[in-house]
Copies of this chain bind each other. A is one copy, B any other.
Amino acid sequence: MLNKVVIFGVGLIGGSFARALKKAGAVREIVGVGRSAASMARALELGIIDAVGVTGEPSLAAALHGADLVLLAAPVAQTEAILAAIAPHLPAGAVVTDAGSTKSDVVAAARRALGGKVAQFVPGHPIAGRETNGPDAAIDHLYIGKKVVLTALAENSAADIERVAAAWRACGAIIHRLTPQEHDKVFAAVSHLPHLLAYALVDDIARKPHADLLFQYAASGFRDFTRIAGSSPEMWRDISLANQPALLTELDAYMAQLMLLRARLAAGDGAALERVYSNAQRARHQWITAIEAAEAPPSPDKAE
């Protein structure tokens, strides 16, 4: 049982973490901290949090007093500033984690902001999300059956890592472990690159002189392919820049693949095209089959 959890940013991610911990009876008190007084008031009204902390001193010291777990779920651009603000007031027994989509940059920011207290920071990334946001979007079952990747630091104690892992498990999540570098390489390939590609395609089409004609005939395949281009441009600008080295590597590999396919298409090499298409279809089918099995709730009583 956690005594006091402090959550920076009580929207979909932070608010759902709070709701899930409460539903599991895994926490005594949750304090929310955020820049929007209206959001904090709403989170309090909805019962997501028990108290509102304020960002300035000495209020932040009071909010953190007695905390055993701190989650950063505000926009990632604020991560370093929040860590710097809490560093002087962080109790020795508290563990800090985050929910950012990139990890190498967060680790670098944490080292700068926390200095000698960086051992208390266990970086994390819950692989869950929806297109909604704000306290009203928070639900108690967002993380059931979902992965949370922890990218622990060499300085972290096993007990601190376990405290973060146990909190996420109480929310129904499944814990995975990667290094920050592995994490960023993996997500550059399966998430960040597809976002860039989808944005690029829609922008490319939208800039053509006959864009209206083109959009008129775009159908369900185009809709699915470009769904992620409906995501927040600011958030994905930040993620692209934060994971720039790994994203460039994946983009270069993909452009090389496109050049190869272009040569095959130009040569009219149908057999070569079909090999690529078939391999992709087969791999995707295997993947879908595997995730449909793996993403089932871990046990029936934890399901919604």
Q: Report A's interface with B, CB cutoff 8 A.
A: 127, 129, 147, 149, 176, 182, 186-187, 189-191, 193-208, 210-211, 213-234, 236-238, 240-241, 244, 247-248, 251-255, 257-259, 261-262, 265-266, 268, 270, 273-274, 276-281, 283-288, 290-291
Contacts and interface: CB of A to CB of B under 8 A. Distances in A.
A160 to B, nearest CB: 24
Contacts of A218: 190-191, 287, 291
Given A190-B219, A224-B224, A259 B270 contact: no
Contacts of A200: 254, 257-258, 261, 276, 280
A281 B230 contact: yes
Given A147-B217, A265-B247, A283 B202 contact: yes
Nearest to A236: B277
Contact of A268 (B221, B244, B287, B291): B244
Taken together, the copies of this chain in the complex come to 2
Contacts of A248: 262, 265-266
Contacts of A233: 274, 277-278, 280-281
19 contacts: A129-B220, A186-B213, A186-B214, A189-B205, A194-B226, A197-B201, A203-B280, A206-B279, A206-B283, A218-B291, A229-B280, A230-B281, A230-B288, A237-B270, A237-B273, A241-B273, A248-B265, A251-B261, A255-B259
Contacts of A280: 198-203, 206, 226, 229, 233
Given A147-B217, A187-B217, A204-B253, 14 more contacts: A186-B214, A186-B217, A191-B219, A199-B277, A204-B254, A206-B279, A215-B283, A218-B287, A225-B225, A230-B284, A233-B277, A234-B274, A248-B266, A251-B265
Interface-centre pick from A221, A240, A277 (highest chain B CB count, 10 A): A277
Given A214-B186, A248-B265, A274-B233, A225 B199 contact: no
Contacts of A261: 196, 200, 251
A165 to B, nearest CB: 17
A174 B196 CA distance: 34
Interface-centre pick from A237, A240, A255, A270 (highest chain B CB count, 10 A): A237
A297 B203 CA distance: 29
Interface-centre pick from A199, A237, A270, A280 (highest chain B CB count, 10 A): A280
B276 A199 contact: yes
A201 B254 contact: yes
Contact of A258 (B189, B251, B270, B284): B251
Given A265-B248, A279-B206, A194 B222 contact: yes
A89 to B, nearest CB: 31
Contacts of A219: 127, 190-191
